């Protein structure tokens, strides 16, 4: 039986805001998380992306805080990236539109002056990235004593990004008596350790098995020899796929993202394609996301900075131009499509050196992903010398990870071109020469 939002103990202001947003039925994570949060319990929620985690904690937080009060924040949400922080702030403002609650967002990448001025006007809920939050706290601009509710969102990503020291410092400066909420898409050992330090007798909610991709996403793999074939395959798919509404193309590095972006701009133009990575300025990144959300552009090329928490509706296709090295990011990438129970398609391009990570992805998600044959019209280009060498190095590295004693053909070839290799050759030749002398040496008879 479907659970509607009227079944929860929400006031009319919140219900009206939910209705304005076009929602009627609660998602599984919302059904299970909202009641214990309203009851004041610590909650740990594990759910895949696109299942409504943000509303699961934002709605009860608004209900508990009710109205503007005092000068300092009573609710604090910590997010790993500025993009996710912006998304959370948008959600809070949408659901609190009929209240007078004040929200301030804090993130790096631009001067703090405007953010400090906003804090001085009074705030009820702060949404922040860890670094900027601690900077402003240490400068005396944030008073944490009135804090009642603390949320860590996408906690696993914060661990991956190395934010554990900042999180520990934040936990030292917030009041001991508070409600704690931790939300994540995956459950790792690090998250379990953090939960043990952060939560008190929590209600654990896991609406799907950890690291399970959305059931509405159709996944497939194309095996390719190198980057040039990836570009040729991308060109083919763009020309022969009719139902592309919006597409995100994920790349592993900024260089790769820029190369793909330049190719797409030549094929289309810069009005239809945007690129998003950490080297772009803050305003450029914000404008790219907004243009994609508002249907001004059809294709967004991005590194994993955009893989989490960007809630863009009607993304029909995700292409993993590169396989992610952090395998959990695969789940978050493909979670950009198939959101809110819509159908989506996720396609991964995989070279021989990336197959190692793709196998790990399949073990993580406990699924075997369909491998498609390359279309006959796709021109297969063999990688050049430098790319072949890079792939060989990567494969050797992977084998050494699995077997520390493994040296590898590439290692021996590389060694032969070094001083150590030359010395080793000379020593070996001398050994042969010495052995040869001993073999043919005949001692004089007495």
Q: Which domain holds residue 351?
A: 217-383
What is the spatial distance between Cα 274 and Cα 265, in angstroms, rounded to a whole number?
Answer: 9
Q: Do 100 and 239 share a domain, yes or no?
A: no
Taking every pair of C-alpha atoms in the chain, what is the biggest distance, in angstroms? 117
User: Is residue 384 classed as helix, strand or coil in its secondary structure?
Assistant: coil
Task: Name the domain boundary from 383, 399, 419.
Answer: 383
| String of DSSP letters for 260-326 | HHHHHHHHS-TTTEEEE-TTS-HHHHHHHHHHHHTTS-SEEEE-GGGSSS---TT--EEEESS--SS
Q: Please list, in sequence order, all residues whose beta carbon lies within 8 angstroms of the beta carbon of residue 299, skipping any fewer than 6 positions away.
A: 246, 247, 248, 249, 264, 268, 272, 273, 274
81 and 151 housed in the same domain? yes
Give the whole-angstrom CA distance, residue 224 versus residue 167: 41
Residues 169 and 258 in one domain: no
Tell me: do 156 and 224 sit in the same domain: no
**Do residue 89 and residue 166 come from a single domain?**
yes
Q: Is residue 441 part of a domain?
A: no
Give the three-state DSSP class for 141. Answer: coil
Does residue 388 sit within a domain? no
- Asked if 282 and 151 sit in the same domain, the reply is no
Backbone Cα Rg of the chain: 27
The count of residues in the chain is 446
The conformation of residue 213, written as its DSSP 8-state character, comes to P
Confirm whether 270 is domain-assigned: yes
Is 428 inside any structural domain? no
Same domain, 144 and 241: no
Same domain, yes or no: 289 and 163: no
Do residues 246 and 199 share a domain? no
Based on the fold, state whether residues 98 and 237 are members of the same structural domain: no
Query: Given 206, 227, 243, which residue is the final one in a domain?
Result: 206
Q: Do residues 408 and 399 lie in contact, with contact meaning Cβ atoms separated by under 8 Å?
A: yes
Residue 378 lies in a domain: yes
pLDDT at 446: 47
In the chain, DSSP finds a helix count (H) and a strand count (E) of: 17, 14
Which residues contact residue 136 at a Cβ distance below 8 angstroms, ignoring those fewer than 6 apart? Answer: 106, 112, 115, 116, 119, 142
Residues 132 and 21 in one domain: yes
Query: Which of 353, 383, 413 finishes a domain?
Result: 383
Confirm whether 175 is domain-assigned: yes
Looking at the 3D structure of the chain, how many domains does it have?
A: 2
Assigned domain for 91 exists: yes
User: What local confidence, expressed as pLDDT, does residue 440 receive?
Assistant: 45
pLDDT at 16: 95
Q: How many CA atoms lie within 13 A of 90 on its CB side?
A: 14
Statement to judge: residues 354 and 231 lie in one domain: yes
What pLDDT sits at residue 211?
Answer: 56
- Each residue's pLDDT, cut to its tens digit, for the chain (446 residues) gives 678 899 998 999 999 999 998 888 898 899 999 999 999 999 999 876 667 889 999 999 999 999 999 999 999 999 988 888 998 999 999 999 999 999 999 998 888 999 999 999 999 999 999 999 999 999 999 999 999 999 999 888 887 778 888 888 998 899 988 999 998 877 777 778 888 888 888 899 987 655 566 677 899 999 999 999 999 999 999 999 888 889 999 999 889 999 999 999 998 877 889 888 766 766 777 788 888 888 888 999 998 875 555 667 788 999 999 999 888 788 888 888 877 667 889 999 999 999 999 999 998 888 899 999 999 999 999 999 999 999 999 999 888 888 877 766 555 555 555 665 566 667 666 666 665 555 444 445 54
E strand or H helix at 342, and its extent?
Answer: none
In a domain, 424, yes or no: no
Question: Tell me, what's the pLDDT at 299?
Answer: 93
Give the orientation angle of helix 189-198 with respect to helix 164-173, to 10 degrees: 10
What CATH number did the domain enclosing 190 receive? Answer: 3.40.50.300
DSSP-assigned letters across all residues of 125-140: EEEE-HHHHHHHHHTT
Instruction: Let me know: does 151 contact 78? Beta carbons within 8 Å.
Output: yes
CB 349 within 8 A of CB 320: yes
pLDDT of residue 152: 93
Own/partner pairs, 112-119, CB within 8 angstroms, 24+ separation: 112/136, 116/141
């Amino acid at each position: 039986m479907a659970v509607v939002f009227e079944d929860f103990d929400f006031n009319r202001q919140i219900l009206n805001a939910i209705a304005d947003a076009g929602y009627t039925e609660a998602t599984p994570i919302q059904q299970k998380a909202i009641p214990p949060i309203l009851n004041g319990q610590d909650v740990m929620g594990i759910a895949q992306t696109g299942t409504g985690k943000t509303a699961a904690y934002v709605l009860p937080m608004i209900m508990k805080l009710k109205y503007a009060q005092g000068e300092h924040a009573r609710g604090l949400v910590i997010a790993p990236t500025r993009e996710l922080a912006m998304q959370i702030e948008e959600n809070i403002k949408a659901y609190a539109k009929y209240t007078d609650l004040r929200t301030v967002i804090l993130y790096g990448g631009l001067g703090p002056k405007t953010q400090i001025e906003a804090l001085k006007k009074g705030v009820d809920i702060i949404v922040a990235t860890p670094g900027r939050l601690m900077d402003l706290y240490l400068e005396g601009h944030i008073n944490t004593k009135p804090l009642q509710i603390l949320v860590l969102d996408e906690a696993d990503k914060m661990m991956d990004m190395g934010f554990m020291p900042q999180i520990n410092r934040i936990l030292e400066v917030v009041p001991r008596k508070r409600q704690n909420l931790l939300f994540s898409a995956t459950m790792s050992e690090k998250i379990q350790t953090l939960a043990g330090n952060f939560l008190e007798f929590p209600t654990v909610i896991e609406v799907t098995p950890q690291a399970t991709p959305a059931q509405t996403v159709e996944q497939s793999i194309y095996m390719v020899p190198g980057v040039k074939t990836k570009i040729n395959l991308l060109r083919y798919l763009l020309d022969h796929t009719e139902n592309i509404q919006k597409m995100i193309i994920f790349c592993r590095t900024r260089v790769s993202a820029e190369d793909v972006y330049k190719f797409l701009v030549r094929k289309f133009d810069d009005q239809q394609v945007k690129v998003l990575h950490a080297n772009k300025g803050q305003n450029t990144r914000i404008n790219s996301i907004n243009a994609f959300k508002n249907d001004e552009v059809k294709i967004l090329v991005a590194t994993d900075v955009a893989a989490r928490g960007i809630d863009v509706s009607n993304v029909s296709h995700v292409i993993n131009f590169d396989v992610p090295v952090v395998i959990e990011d695969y789940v978050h990438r493909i979670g950009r499509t198939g959101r809110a129970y819509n159908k989506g398609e996720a396609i991964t391009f995989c070279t021989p050196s990336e197959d190692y990570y793709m196998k790990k992805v399949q073990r993580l998600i406990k699924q075997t992903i369909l491998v498609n044959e390359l279309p006959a019209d796709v021109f297969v280009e063999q990688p050049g010398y430098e790319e072949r060498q890079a792939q060989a190095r990567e494969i050797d590295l992977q084998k050494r990870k699995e077997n520390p004693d493994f040296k590898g053909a590439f290692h021996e070839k590389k060694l032969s071109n070094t001083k150590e290799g030359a010395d080793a050759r000379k020593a070996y030749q001398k050994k042969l020469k010495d052995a040869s002398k001993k073999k043919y040496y005949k001692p004089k008879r007495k």
